[in-house]
Amino acid sequence: MSYQNLIFLQNLYRLKSVGFKYVDMFSINETNLHMMPTSMQKLRDDISSCHLCDLSKSRTQSMVGIGNENADVMIVDFVVSQLEDEQNSYYTARSGEILKKICQNVLGLDINDVYFTHIVKCKPLGSNTPSFSECNSCKGYLLAQIDLIKPKVIITLGREAYENLTGELDSFENIRGVVCDFKSYKLVPIYHPNYLLRNPELKKITLNDLNTIKRYI
């Protein structure tokens, strides 16, 4: 879903919430009404006020992302965890520590030098996996973030983040560590830190993947 379509839906929901049942026909592509955001602040405001899916009713807050808005490396996780939502903080728990070490010790980047965000900007209800429509509701925001940041490399964490961003359903084992073309960017899927905690023998493979990424930054 494009950013313009997201804004279009936002406007319809607002009209419905105040009692409108009919509006005159208008074009979804009227660029004067639905311009792409020109700043991360405008995008943050749009995400924070989003009500495109039911997650907006139960969230503590929308978690837009954190880090350098001109980063060479953008890291994309799948969903906001319960701990991230409760603490309104990124890089939480043991998986967050692994991600910090990946940035600092392997890529040679401070966490303030990268940009970290999620496919789905609000914590899912309970332990549920977000539905297709919930993921799709956020996709335009993520694509707008990518185009504003213009990273050299996008790193997706785990199968779900890769599939939801790209729409590709390749075998993750076949695509992991491969440098892919995504729009005008390079994208590399790697194992999720939580998966590495459960399978520490895969850390060496991930180290090789990260060394591949270093050649592009």
DSSP symbols for 56-118: HHH-S-----EE-TT-SEEEEEEE--HHHHHHT-SS-HHHHHHHHHIIIIIS---GGGSEEEE
Which pLDDT belongs to residue 53?
87
pLDDT digits (tens, 9 = 90+) for 128-181: 788 888 899 999 999 999 999 999 999 999 999 999 999 998 899 999 999 999
Which pLDDT belongs to residue 150?
97
Which pLDDT belongs to residue 72?
97
Which pLDDT belongs to residue 212?
96
* Angle between helices 158-166 and 132-149 in degrees, nearest 10: 80
Q: Which fold has domain 36-214?
A: Uracil-DNA Glycosylase, subunit E (3.40.470)
Which pLDDT belongs to residue 123?
87
Residues 113-128, mean pLDDT to the nearest whole number: 89
Lowest mean pLDDT among 26-40, 55-69, 84-98, 139-153: 26-40
Model confidence at 187: pLDDT above 60: yes
Which pLDDT belongs to residue 32?
37
Domain positions in the chain:
36-214
Write the burial class of residue 69 (CB in 10 Å: 0-12 exposed, 13-18 middle, 19+ buried). Answer: middle
Question: Predicted confidence band at 64 (pLDDT cuts at 50, 70, 90)?
Answer: very high
> Token pair for residue 52?
């495109």
Say which residue, 10 or 156, is predicted with more confidence. Answer: 156
Q: How open is the CA angle 120-121-127, to the nearest 5 degrees? A: 65
pLDDT digits (tens, 9 = 90+) for 34-53: 467 889 999 999 998 888 88
Residues 98-113, mean pLDDT to the nearest whole number: 96
